[in-house]
């Protein structure tokens, strides 16, 4: 039986339906094995679809056999394929490699629940990426958010609890704002399907509710995507979450929210609301610039390695939003590519940190001094990924930063300011990455910290090195992601004509 036309729905259904079944796998380690298998299968489906999309095929699927807009439609194009790759790839690697770290942090009795929630989060995120219906996106957004709250609260650190509570409050406000926006658009156009909205929105006479709707949707999704200044939930949530969950969330969670924001904005609003593109730029560009500068500055002075990298993530989200706010093909390509590269770089960094955490209980920078002497391979992987984060030539990060600079130079009067901000923040990134390198390699070990007995556990080490090599590989040969990203940019812009 040829399952190819059903791939879009299987991408969601496979993890979604496996999640309750994982609860039945009580014996030790079986839940992990089941989750790993499901994650790999999802990655295989995503890869399959991405290759097909790169060859020019577009998938669309009418769930229930009802054609849109009467039923819910799924669609896979370049942009969604990119996001699917990121989500399933991050999930697969984190689950496969993370067993040693998860075993240390989550007690065996609760592990089936933990892995079930993880697979459910993956299902939710892929569901968002595939959906072409505004309300369906809300439902899957809440699935992934609820599952994420559960995952973050899982670790032994009690500070995770207030952090996840704040995330829950802000995330639910964001989702509800999104719901209000969708309701207003539905009120004026009478449909929930994105493509249909695009077609009908031109015929609306009173645009005030639509402007209010655009505002609500943007703010709601910005809350979920941790765009400055609505990012306050992110540092604590990432810092105190179990280490493998930080790997997973840092790589993909906020990017899916940005994906929805860009899709909604470019597909539905920009084409049809006069001067909306100007409003979009005017609103988002300064926030992106501020986010990049403030977050990078705070990261330079952070004492805890996870919180440092979490603030760095806020800065990187700023880069992604900056590229999008240019509303040019170059800008959007840089933005999409940075989503991919940041996932690789941050994922690798947090994988290495999870490895460090297997031997060091306290992850404050001062306590990690001299770690490189006892764990040389782990530290080396960390350094390579760190360089990719900064954008050293030869790494993936360099490619997206270069594209961003290139796009910024086209911005006329603002070019100088933009280029300046990008360069200054890159220097700040170099500063905080150097701080980490210096502490790990050149400082003497702290007196009262036990010397680790060996390297990080093998799966984590291999995964961290896989990420490090991928960073270099995609830095030297960026063709595949670049192709997907420019196709995505073209798609987004094509709807503004």
Partner 1 sequence: MNLLELLGYFNYWVFAIVLTVGLYTVIAKINLVKKLIGLSIFQSAVFLMYITMDKVEGGTAPIIQKGMENQVFSNPLPQVLILTAIVVGVSTLALGLAIVVRIFEAYGTIEEDEILDAD
Partner 2 sequence: MIIIFALFLLSLLVITALAIVQTKNLFVAVMLTSIFSLLMAANFFILDAADVALTEAAVGAGITTVIFLSALALTTEREKAVQSAQRLTLVVVAVLATLIIYATFDKPRLGDPEAPVHQHLAPWYLEKTPEYMDFPNVVTAVLGSFRGYDTLGEVFVVFAACIGVLFILGVKPPGDRHYDPHASGLRHHLIPQVVGRLLIPFIVLFGLYVQFHGEYGPGGGFQAGALIASGVILYALLEGETAALRAVPRYVLMGLVIGGASLYGAVGLVCILLGGNFLEYSVLSSNPVSGQQLGILLIEAGVGMAVCGALLSIFHAFAARPMRV
Binding-site ranges for partner 2 (CB under 8 A): 1, 3, 6, 9, 13, 16-17, 19-21, 23-24, 61-66, 69-72, 109-110, 113-114, 116-117, 120, 123, 127, 135-136, 139-140, 142-143, 146-147, 149-150, 153-154, 184, 186-192, 200, 204, 206, 208-209, 212
Least distance in Å: CB of 272 to partner 1? 21
User: Measured at the alpha carbon of residue 218, what is the angle toward residues 292 and 15, in degrees to the nearest 5?
Assistant: 90
Both tokens of residue 183? 């309701």
Q: Is the Cβ of residue 115 or residue 340 nearer to partner 2 in the bound state?
A: 115
CA geometry: angle 228, 230, 236, nearest 5 deg: 100
Cα Rg for the chain, rounded, in angstroms?
A: 22
Give the tokens for residue 122. 């993956």
| Minimum distance of partner 1 from residue 159's CB (angstroms) | 6
Instruction: Name the residue nearer to partner 2 (CB basis): 21 or 278.
Output: 21
Containing 75, the helix (H) or strand (E) segment is: strand 73-76
> What minimum distance in Å lies between the beta carbon of 2 and partner 2?
11
Partner touching 168 among partner 2, partner 1, none, CB below 5 to 8 Å by kind: partner 1
Smallest distance, Å, CB 72 to partner 2?
5
The Cα 175–Cα 223 span in angstroms is 8
- 237/152 Cα distance (integer angstroms): 7
C-alpha span between 253 and 487 (Å, rounded):
22
Distances (CA, A) of 347 to 272, 342, 352, 474: 38, 8, 9, 14
Q: Which is nearer to partner 1, 158 or 275 (CB)?
A: 158
**Residue 110 CB, nearest distance to partner 2 (Å)?**
5
Our CB check for partner 1 shows the closer of 151 and 305 to be 151
249 vs 285, beta carbon nearer partner 1? 249
Residue 165 touches which member of partner 1, partner 2, none, C-beta under 5-8 Å by kind: partner 1
Q: Which residues pair with 75 in a beta bridge?
A: 60
Nearer to partner 2, 41 or 212 (CB): 212
Give the one entry of partner 2, partner 1, none that residue 6 binds, where binding means its C-beta sits below a cut-off of 5 to 8 angstroms depending on kind.
Answer: partner 2
Q: Which does 329 bind (CB under 5 to 8 A by kind): partner 2, partner 1, none?
A: none
* H or E element at residue 74: strand 73-76
Taking the C-alpha atoms of residue 489 and residue 483, their distance in angstroms, rounded to an integer, is 10
**Which residues contribute to the site for partner 1 (CB under 8 A)?**
135, 138-139, 142, 146, 149-150, 153, 158-159, 161-162, 164-165, 168-169, 172-173, 176, 179-180, 183, 186-187, 192
User: Of 58, 130, 83, 167, nearest to 339 (Cα)?
Assistant: 83
Own/partner long-range contacts of 371-375 (Cβ < 8 Å, ≥24 apart): 371/439, 371/440, 371/445, 371/452, 372/440, 372/441, 373/441, 373/445, 374/451, 374/452, 374/454, 375/452, 375/454, 375/455, 375/456
| Shortest reach from residue 161's CB to partner 1, in Å | 5
Q: Cβ of residue 331: shortest distance to partner 2, in angstroms? A: 30
Minimum CB separation from partner 2 for residue 171, in Å?
Answer: 13
Nearer of residues 33 and 63 to partner 2, judged by Cβ:
63
CB-nearer residue toward partner 2: 197 or 345: 197
C-alpha to C-alpha distance for 136 and 142, rounded to whole angstroms: 10
Q: How far apart are CA 220 and CA 213, in angstroms?
A: 10
């Amino acid at each position: 039986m040829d399952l190819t036309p059903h791939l879009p729905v299987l991408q969601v259904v496979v993890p979604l339906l496996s999640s309750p079944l994982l609860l039945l796998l009580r014996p030790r380690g079986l839940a992990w094995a089941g989750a790993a298998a499901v994650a790999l299968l999802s990655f295989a489906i995503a890869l399959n679809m991405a290759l097909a999309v790169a060859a020019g095929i577009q998938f669309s699927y009418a769930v229930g056999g009802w054609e849109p807009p009467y039923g819910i439609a799924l669609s896979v194009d370049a942009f969604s394929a990119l996001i699917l790759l990121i989500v399933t790839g991050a999930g697969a690697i984190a689950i496969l490699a993370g067993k040693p770290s998860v075993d240390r942090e989550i007690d065996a009795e609760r592990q089936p629940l933990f892995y079930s929630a993880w697979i459910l989060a993956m299902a939710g995120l892929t569901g968002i990426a595939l959906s072409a219906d505004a309300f369906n996106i809300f439902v899957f957004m809440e699935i992934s958010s609820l599952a994420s709250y559960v995952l973050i609260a899982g670790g032994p650190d009690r500070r995770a609890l207030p952090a996840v509570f704040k995330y829950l409050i802000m995330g639910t406000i964001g989702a509800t704002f999104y719901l209000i926006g969708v309701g207003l658009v539905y009120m004026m156009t009478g449909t929930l399907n994105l493509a249909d909205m695009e077609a009908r929105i031109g015929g609306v006479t009173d645009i005030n509710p639509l402007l209010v709707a655009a505002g609500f949707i943007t703010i709601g999704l910005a809350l979920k995507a941790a765009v400055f200044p609505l990012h306050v939930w992110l540092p604590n949530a990432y810092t105190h979450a179990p280490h493998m969950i930080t790997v997973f969330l840092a790589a993909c969670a906020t990017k899916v929210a940005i994906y929805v924001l860009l899709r909604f904005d470019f597909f539905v609003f920009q084409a049809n609301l006069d001067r909306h593109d100007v409003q979009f730029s005017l609103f988002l560009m300064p926030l992106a610039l501020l986010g990049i500068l403030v977050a990078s500055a705070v990261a330079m002075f952070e004492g805890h390695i996870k919180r440092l990298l979490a603030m760095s993530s806020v800065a990187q989200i700023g880069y992604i939003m900056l590229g999008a706010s240019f509303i040019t093909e170059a800008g959007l390509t840089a933005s999409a590519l940075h989503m991919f590269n940041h996932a690789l770089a941050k994922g690798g960094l947090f994988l290495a940190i999870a490895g460090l955490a297997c031997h060091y209980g306290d992850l404050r920078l001062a306590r990690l001094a001299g770690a490189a002497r006892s764990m040389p391979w782990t530290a080396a992987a960390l350094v390579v990924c760190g360089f990719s984060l900064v954008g050293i030539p030869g790494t993936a990060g360099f490619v997206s930063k270069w594209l961003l600079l290139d796009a910024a130079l086209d911005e006329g009067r603002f070019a100088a300011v933009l280029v300046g901000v990008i360069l200054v923040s890159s220097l700040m990134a170099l500063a905080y990455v150097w701080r980490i390198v210096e502490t790990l390699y050149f400082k003497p070990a702290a007196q009262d910290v036990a010397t680790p007995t060996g390297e990080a556990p093998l799966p984590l080490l291999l995964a961290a090195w896989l990420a490090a090599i991928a960073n270099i590989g995609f830095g030297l040969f960026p063709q595949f992601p670049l192709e997907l990203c420019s196709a995505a940019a073209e798609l987004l812009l094509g709807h503004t004509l």
